[in-house]
Amino acid sequence: MKTAVSLQNLPSRIPNRRSRVRKPRRSRRSSVQLDRVVARLPSIVGGGSVLTDRAELVCYSYDASCYSRLPDVVVFPNSSEEISKIVRLANRERVPVTPRGAGTSLSGGPVPARGGIVVVLARMNRILDLDEDNLTVTCEVGLTLRDLNRSLARKLLHFPIDPGSSEAATLGGMIGENASGMHSPRFGKTKDRVLSLEVVLPNGDIIHVGSKCFKSASGYNLKELFIGSEGTLGIVTKATLRLSPLPDNYTVISASFKTTVAAGRAISRVVKRGLPVSALEFMDRPSIEVVKAFTGLPLPQAAAMVLIECTGPEGEVQNHLADAAEILREEGAFELRISSDRGEADRLWHARKVTYGAISRIRPTAIQADPVVPVSKLPDYLARLDLIAQKYALKIVSYGHAADGNLHPTVLIDEGNPEEMRYARMALAEIYQSALELGGTLTGEHGVGVEKSDYFNLEWPSNVVSVMREIKAVLDPNNIMNPRKWI
Ligand SMILES: Cc1cc2nc3c(=O)[nH]c(=O)nc-3n(C[C@H](O)[C@H](O)[C@H](O)COP(=O)(O)OP(=O)(O)OC[C@H]3O[C@@H](n4cnc5c(N)ncnc54)[C@H](O)[C@@H]3O)c2cc1C
């Protein structure tokens, strides 16, 4: 995460995307409409909840990606009703609105690409109802995952979606991106855990979609339309989530490989065997080395490491891990370590969780991709990533949620070096193109945002994009919600 922001150093990050990537400057929208909106906002949210000072706006101009753009005004509403009034006003005056959680997105999602109003949900962070009998919780979505889980831990419960950014990410941002994490093989993605939503539509109406029940076949699945829509269809204000008891027993096996391709083969065989793993992660040599230096943990000297977690009754866990170990050995694992206790397992997950932070320190700029391939194609894809790195003589570090076929090839460069930036662009295009050629998709969890919008048409034919545009036009005819992204 970038914390120290200097106006001089803020990006134009990727030169050939100047149309989307702007130096943070005040938007040219100096229109009467905008002035009217800015003048009215304090009467809706209170004077102390509106920022217009340039130095303060900078803090809301970027996320954890390479993109930035100054908003014209930032507001901190306290209720759904206030958000409804803000959006109604913005819609009337045709001023863009971009919802923002913690700003940890890696795709430029909360960057206000056309300026306008950034609506920060941080003050809407209350737990409204914990229903232990039904294992559900209803919250305002400015709540961070960490705070929710700290509170639930007292009841031995948790919301089990665990992105690497779990210390900071808000529930609204997770819903906006359909986030997932290391334990998705067991607990699924955000969409699998959201039962119902309250949403403020672009016309200001407040609607409720979904149901507190564990299943519903009643009408169109509008709830899932909003999940992963990256704030382009409305602002989610409340959510009812499905919880799980905290797992009481889990063991992690780590396996070292001499090639990434062998690790890829082992992963696809473990998945094919249908073993009930609760997590299955991959790290390549550069990520292992950097994390080792960053954490001091005794990680192996290997071209690739595979981490597998099983959870449940002790006997079952041991059986599943023995089956997994057999496959890992057959595919060439030269070292297998089984965590001796929960503390050791937690340290291994910590190592995996800090990977992005650790690799970001290697070079000035880290551009992280998020492709997914069918898991049987992982060996092919890993081989292609090696070739792409060689072809452009770039440092590309790869790790990710291997059970889903979701990798994070991260191109490490110096954005001040135009030559490197040119090669990085070409490498990223090949990273995405290769995933699509193997039957994959552009993004598993970070969303399209600004970062992948150039590739969107490679994945979706024009008749599919048209359907998406028509849905957007019905809900947001004036295109005020998070405009100038992929839609
Ligand atoms: C170190 C690091 C590790 C990460 N690891 C993972 C990972 O393992 N898995 C993963 O999925 N992601 C990961 N991410 C990406 C990011 O943290 C997630 O996408 C997270 O869900 C974003 O939450 P946020 O509160 O920061 O949202 P923001 O970044 O503020 O917003 C994300 C998007 O959601 C929209 N949005 C925000 N709030 C609302 C709302 N109330 N209503 C409608 N739209 C809204 C925004 O407009 C934007 O498009 C990681 C990021 C970092 C920096």
pLDDT digits (tens, 9 = 90+) for 81-102: 999 999 999 999 999 999 999 9
Q: Let me know if residue 320 belongs to a domain.
A: yes
Q: Are residues 335 and 368 in the same domain?
A: no
pLDDT of residue 340: 83
Ligand 1 centroid to residue 226 C-alpha, Å: 14
Q: Are residues 353 and 368 in the same domain?
A: no
Q: Which two tokens stand for residue 290?
A: 């950097």
Q: Let me know if residue 426 belongs to a domain.
A: yes
Q: Are residues 226 and 290 in the same domain?
A: no
Q: Does the pLDDT at position 259 exceed 60?
A: yes
Q: Is the CB of 482 under 6 A from ligand 1?
A: yes
Last residue of a domain, one of 182, 216, 245: 245
Instruction: Choose which residue among 59, 75, 104, 161 to substitute to test ligand 1 binding: the one with the highest number of ligand atoms within 8 A of its C-beta.
Output: 104
Q: Is the CB of 104 under 6 A from ligand 1?
A: yes
The span from the first CA to the last CA of the chain, in angstroms, equals 26
Q: Are residues 335 and 240 in the same domain?
A: no
pLDDT digits (tens, 9 = 90+) for 125-156: 999 999 999 999 999 999 999 999 999 999 99
- How far apart CA 181 and CA 388 sit, in angstroms, is 26
Q: Does the pLDDT at position 11 exceed 90?
A: no
Residue 248: helix, strand or coil by DSSP?
coil
pLDDT digits (tens, 9 = 90+) for 368-385: 999 999 999 999 999 999
pLDDT, mean of residues 171-190: 96
Q: Are residues 137 and 229 in the same domain?
A: yes
pLDDT of residue 8: 28
Domain total in the chain? 3
- How far apart CA 173 and CA 242 sit, in angstroms, is 17
pLDDT of residue 247: 86
Q: Let me know if residue 38 belongs to a domain.
A: no
Average pLDDT, the chain: 92
Q: Is the CB of 109 under 6 A from ligand 1?
A: yes
Q: At what angle do helices 314-330 and 260-273 cross, to 10 degrees?
A: 140
Locate the ligand 1 atom nearest the alpha carbon of residue 445 and give its number: 11
Q: Is the separation of the CB atoms in 175 and 190 below 8 Å? A: yes
Residues 6+ apart with CB under 8 A from 321: 251, 253, 308, 310, 338
Strand partners, 368: 410
pLDDT of residue 13: 36
Q: Are residues 214 and 228 in the same domain?
A: yes
Q: Let me know if residue 478 belongs to a domain.
A: no
Q: Does the pLDDT at position 4 exceed 50?
A: no
Q: Are residues 211 and 148 in the same domain?
A: yes
Ligand 1 centroid to residue 174 C-alpha, Å: 5
Strand partners, 441: 372
Q: Is the separation of the CB atoms in 73 and 117 below 8 Å? A: yes
What's the Cα-to-Cα distance from 398 to each of 389, 430, 459, rounded to whole Å? 11, 15, 22
Q: Let me know if residue 69 belongs to a domain.
A: no
What's the Cα-to-Cα distance from 178 to each of 146, 156, 285, 481, rounded to whole Å? 17, 25, 29, 18
CATH code for position 205: 3.30.465.10
Query: Which residue has a Cα nearest atom 27 of ligand 1?
Result: 173
The range of the structural domain enclosing residue 416 comes to: 363-443
Give the residue from 424, 480, 407 showing the smallest Cα distance to 88.
480
